[in-house]
Structure 1
Amino acid sequence: MSGNIQLLDDTLAAARAEGRSALIAYLPAGFPTVDGGIEAVKAAFDGGADVVEVGLPHSDPVLDGPVIQTADDIALRGGLKIRDVMRTVREAHEATGRPVLVMTYWNPIDRYGVERFTAELAEAGGAGCILPDLPVQESALWREHAEKHGLATVFVVAPSSKDERLATITAAGSGFVYAASLMGVTGTRESVGEQAQDLVRRTKATTSLPVCVGLGVSNARQAAEVAGFADGVIVGSAFVQRMLDAPDAAAGLAAVRALAAELADGVRGKA
């Protein structure tokens, strides 16, 4: 069975045709429970997310902030397994018909087996994988199996990436390019936003793939700001924080739905 890279491509193209950025939500699998995580993904889609990245929690998430680390810890303490991540992808995609990706560090895939992981993700209806710590020069095996199974390979670029490096990364990727930056503390966000804008400009010079930005966005105004220069706005910690702050599971789902609706307005310039 082939994965849903075409659905991802079509979804991002449809947003562009509407003259707006796509809204991409990130939610960890298994948080607060496996069933609860599946419902959270559905809630994000209900609220207006175009794409959802399902996080595969890791015991040493070197690139994740404290909010996502907290959610990962809860999921891992609950005994989350890769099969639960696949189930999350399958049930969320079957319920919504929308593109669902997995975001994961390389180590769990390496241990599980590349062919097994890609085959199961495609069978679950997954659209692809975001691999923040897999160097492009070490990615040939992954890309071979991902392509065979119809899955996107999304690499991450950063402001520190030199132009030559950007060209190498984007040439190897598919689906979209994940441009990672940080909002920074109050008073520095404007300059960091300029840094992200420059990264998008430099990345677009190397590829026709959509360039989507993960920038610490947490409200509609910020989403509108990033949507002014990026093809997609990626939001993760803000969703997880809303769930952590909620008094119960139902309130958490309502909060995810409400934030997605707010951000969906933002990417449409209605902030």
Structure 2
Amino acid sequence: MTASTRTFGLEAIAEIFQQAKDENRAAFLPYFPIGYPDYDTSLDAIAAMAEVGVDGFEIGVPFSDPLADGPTVQAATQKSLENGTTVKTCLHAVHKLRERGITQPMLMMSYANPLVAYGSEQFVIDAKAAGADGLIVPDLPPEEAAYFADACAREGMALVFFLAPTSNDARIQLVAENARGFIYVVSLTGITGARDALPADLSQTIANIRRLTDTPLVLGFGISTPEHARMMNGLVDGFIVGSAMVRAAKEGVDAVGKLAADLRNSLG
């Protein structure tokens, strides 16, 4: 598929989950922040991951107060900000990645503040024009998302909300009713970051959510190894790896590509 003929938005995201399901595996969507360790290298890292067959991307927009992020991602986004990365920089990056022929879905991950400052509706319009397929906003609950939700619905874009292990049935139903594309399930309470082991009650957390929705579930927080990735098969529809990808970037673009390949190949 060429960049000019690729499907877009919700349709593109639905396709990656269907393809992964057909292959009896979970979809793999790595996170990487634009501007880390510098602008050009961040694009090269994303391109390297695309080349080894990841299913989609969470494209990080840096913010000065990333409450949900662990020390690895916080340090990377701080470096990105020091490099002068802005919301416009990130939109330009998505456009450039599409020009390079990358066809996988890209969801822009940003805290709400920079997007509100940019203009909620205008950001959605510009993100679509750049080639993004949706938004992930960690500090935006459905109750406060009307402007983003209306714009995303109008533009055919995904809008992803979060559930935690502590979410009750009413919360699960609210998020499920408002989610567009998939639901981001936080594997544990706390901040992002690679862990040695995933929670023992993770399968129960997923089962509790599955009882109430058939919206695709994507797991994040703490996933870092091929062993973790294999555990995702049959458990969730997809998973996100962030801190481990950022750590690999310290060793260079090739290391990012190799880790992405190892994680992708572990899925079968």
Global fold match (TM > 0.5): yes
Which one of 20, 24, 27 corresponds to residue 19 of structure 1? Answer: 24
CA contact (8 A) 2:194 2:224 kept: no
SS in 2 for 1:155: strand
Give deviations 1:202-232, integer Å, cap 9, x for gaps. 2222222210111311111111012231111
Indicate how the Cα distance of structure 1 residues 68 and 147 shifts in structure 2: closer, same or farther if over 3 A, else same: same
2:4 maps to: none
Q: How far apart are residue 153 of structure 1 and its match?
A: 0.4
Relative distance call for 1:184 and 1:66 in structure 2 (3 A) is closer
Structure 1 match to 2:226: 220
Structure 1 runs of 4+ off > 4 angstroms? 183-186
Residue 15 of structure 2 corresponds to 10
Aligned to 1:120: 126
SS in 1 for 2:266: helix
Change in Cα spacing, 1:238 to 1:134, as seen in structure 2 (3 Å) is same
Alignment of 1:97 onto 2:94: no
Return the alpha-carbon distance in structure 2 between the equivalents of residues 150 and 125 of structure 1: 12
- Among the aligned pairs, what percent are the same residue? 33
1:242 equivalent to 2:251? Answer no
1:65-112 Cα shifts (integer Å, max 9, x gaps)? 000011101100001111111112222234211111101111111111
User: In the alignment, residue 265 of structure 1 is paired with which amino acid?
Assistant: N
Q: Determine the structure 1 residue equivalent to 2:74.
A: 69
CA distance in 2, matches of 1:6, 1:92: 19
Partner of 2:266: 266
Which runs of structure 2 are paired with 1:76-87 in the superposition (5 Å)?
Answer: 76-87=81-92
The answer to whether residue 198 in structure 2 is matched with residue 180 in structure 1 is no
Higher helix share: 1
The alpha-carbon deviation at position 242 of structure 1 amounts to: 0.8
RMSD: 1.7
Q: Give the one of 49, 67, 84 matched to 1:44.
A: 49
* Counterpart residue identity of residue 46, structure 2: V
Aligned length: 257
Q: Could you state the TM-score of these two structures normalised by the residue count of structure 2? A: 0.91
Q: Which runs of 5 or more residues in structure 2 are unaligned? A: 1-6
TM-score by length of 1: 0.90
Aligned to 1:156: 162
For 2:42, the aligned partner's letter is G
